Amino acid sequence: MSSETLILKNPRGWFAAGAEVQKALDLLSDGAFRLFIYLCLNARRDTGVLEGSLTQLAKSVNRAQHTVRLYLREMQTAGICRFRFGKSPLGNGAIEVEEDFWPYQRHTQEAATNDFAEFMSKIRKMLQDRACVKPTASAADEILARDWFDRGIGLECIEWAILIGCVRKYVSWRNNETRTMIVSLKYFAPVLEEVQTMKPDSEYCAYLRYRLMRMENEWKHQRNQSSSKPKEDAGVSGMELS
């Protein structure tokens, strides 16, 4: 056997499929095992938990909600996972893979909480650094950030989405579209979905930072000029922020 180190073609999103997965394969039906693999690929590595609604889960695995519930009960009976969902399929619930079937060491709840707090703090710093963003400490932003954190989306990917989103905002202002500030993290959610399909490129990211810096400086200059004019003229050429 060659001693050459093997290199993953795609280093992101892989899962440590070892003895735990083999045990599940021996115990589950084909459909339930397929759902188990989906859980393994999408659950948080540090907790073995996947959160979301039954509707979202059924859509993701292309199965009916009733069928997904049957598979979950099969896995629970086999001691592979436990789950909780309310009566409404749209309500959020959670599935946790049991210890014997999860290959990663789990963080304590306190450690996971601290990790998310740091994650959220860095996102807020990214937003505060942007002149076109008026950051707010809203519950909606924290819920969205928690979803990204649970899905294992990296800060680098989120920063890229914020850079692209802000560049697009300045371009829209240049085109005389409504000049409103970005006030929610949700603004960047569709951009993040785009970014996840792209191949990371450090040179392009550096170019975006440079372009964004120029646009921000131009906008700040225009805003300062506007604020220094007499009040009766300020509304004519100044940028309107709402």
H or E stretch covering 7: none
**For 121, how many CA atoms within 13 A lie in the half-sphere containing its CB?**
6
Which of 83, 101, 119 corresponds to the end of one domain? 101
Look at the chain and report how many structural domains it folds into.
2
Q: Where are the alpha helices (DSSP H) in 1-130?
A: 19-27, 30-42, 54-61, 65-77, 109-128
pLDDT score recorded for residue 112: 59
Q: How far apart are CA 201 and CA 198, in angstroms?
A: 9
Which of 49, 77, 101 corresponds to the end of one domain? 101
pLDDT score recorded for residue 227: 63
Average pLDDT, 10 consecutive residues per value, the chain (242 residues): 64 74 93 94 86 88 94 95 80 86 75 77 92 83 86 85 92 79 92 81 82 86 67 37 30
Does 13 reside within a domain? no
H or E stretch covering 51: strand 49-53
SS3 127: helix
Which of 85, 101, 117 corresponds to the end of one domain? 101
In this prediction the pTM is 0.51
SS3 211: helix
Does 213 reside within a domain? yes
**Do 226 and 114 share a domain, yes or no?**
yes
Write out the residue range of the structural domain in which residue 77 sits.
19-101
Q: Residue 133 corresponds to which tokens in the numbers above? A: 């963003």
**Do 185 and 224 share a domain, yes or no?**
yes
- Here the CATH number for the domain that contains residue 61 is 1.10.10.10
